Amino acid sequence: MTVAKAEFPFGPVPPAEALQIMRAIRDDRPMTKVAFPVGGECWMLHRHETCRAVLEDRRFVRKPFTDGRPVPYAFEFPAFLTQTLQFMDPPDHTRFRRLVSKAFTLRRVERLRGKVQDIADELVDAMVAAGPPANLVESFALRLPIRVIGDMLGVPQDGRGDFVRWSHAMLATSGMTEDEVTEAMTSLYLYLQELMTRKRDDPRDDLLSALVAARDADDRLTDDEIIQIAMLLVAGGFDNTANFIELGVQALLADPGQHAALLADIDGVIATAVEEILRHGGFVLGQEMGGFAGLVPFVASEDVELDGVLIKAGDAVAVDLGTANHDDGVFADSDRFDVTRERNPHLTLSHGLHHCLGAPLARMELQVGIATLFRRLPELKLAGEPVYLEGVLTGGMTDLPVTW
């Protein structure tokens, strides 16, 4: 099969145009060989079934990216990311995930639900007291997950002020010098190292203390591994959640019918609404498309045939989450945003070996945060155009103006 080649990125473009491009791509071909601005090529897989199959297939590995193979993007993935679960293969991945999962349990996440509700109510109280209009990014979307991840890790209140700066520096693709990125990452590393030492001497009921204590027989996480996990949580544990709060609110307020459907039964609809926000929200081409895991390539360890196309050993392959999540063969009326969609096997939180360990936390925060906003502020509406964040791998907004 002859497959078209395209320049990457394809955008970014307005959401309506992005959906049109996606439809044309997925209807025309199962994958695209994309060329990157700095050289190198990668297969971008567009169909849900193929993406899911690759995420389950052990013949597609990540190890080459930690062995010095250059990443074929206009940016380099941060060094600390290449030492985390996303870039590991078995058996290292198996060991690491087993130990981390002992600390990052669904039970621990659910114990936080009441606390997350309290935080969400407190933030809405502050919005109401200040009066409209408001920048939802600064007043709610960022503040909620920062406080949650801070509480979960056991970070003192006075230690959270630099989280956004550190996170954006670690995930910067442009706009920051190498020295600025290095300084930010070093500051975060040293801060977490000192905090971890305190947790070892005086453990508390928090995730960092649990990671310090996590062991399996004689095996345990090293200090560097614990710090890498904590850095990943700081980098991705609040930014992506904040992004989807913003995208979810924007999508709901832009669609009167879906807004009304949520308001009519918030408790009954919020779970499916969050899944639809995860599926439908991150579709702007050229951005990270709902989770930067989707743009971390795999490498074929041997020749593999996918959809009639020969992927040769050593070829880079990436799943195109935005297009896969709008596959008409899987999602009925796939381009429609539908908060009551029941069957929703989206791939935003990945699948298989690399399924996001933080998925239960992300879902819970989105459910509580978005439900609280619309329950407390049923008259919420957009008050202007969003301002998008540039130069950061996870995308997002700097301003989502709202009023009520």
Which pLDDT score is estimated for 391?
Answer: 62
- Strand partners for 329: none
* Residues ≥6 apart with Cβ < 8 Å to 141: 242, 243, 245, 246, 249, 369, 397, 400
At 258-314, the pLDDT tens digits run 999 999 999 999 999 999 999 987 654 434 333 344 457 888 999 999 999 999 998
Beta strands per DSSP E along 276-331: 298-300, 304-306, 309-311, 316-319
What is the share, in percent, of the chain residues with pLDDT greater than 70? Answer: 80
**What is the reported pTM?**
0.86
Q: What angle do CA 102, 355, 77 make, to 5 degrees?
A: 100
How many angstroms separate the CA atoms of 262 and 273, rounded?
Answer: 8
- Can you tell me the mean pLDDT for 175-182? 74
What's the pLDDT band for 182 if we cut at 50, 70, 90?
confident
Phi, psi at 336, each rounded to 5°: -90, 130
| pLDDT tops 90 at residue 187 | no
Kind of pairing between the strands at 298-300 and 219-220: unpaired
Q: What tokens does 207 get?
A: 């995730």
Total residue count of the chain as it appears in this document: 404
Helix 266-281, helix 239-253: angle, nearest 10: 110
Expressed as residue numbers, the domain containing 290 is 5-403
- Which CATH number do you get for residue 190? 1.10.630.10
At 376-391, the pLDDT tens digits run 999 999 999 998 877 6
| pLDDT tops 70 at residue 67 | no
- Strand partners for 397: 388
Which pLDDT score is estimated for 171?
Answer: 63
Number of domains in the chain: 1
Which pLDDT score is estimated for 109?
Answer: 83
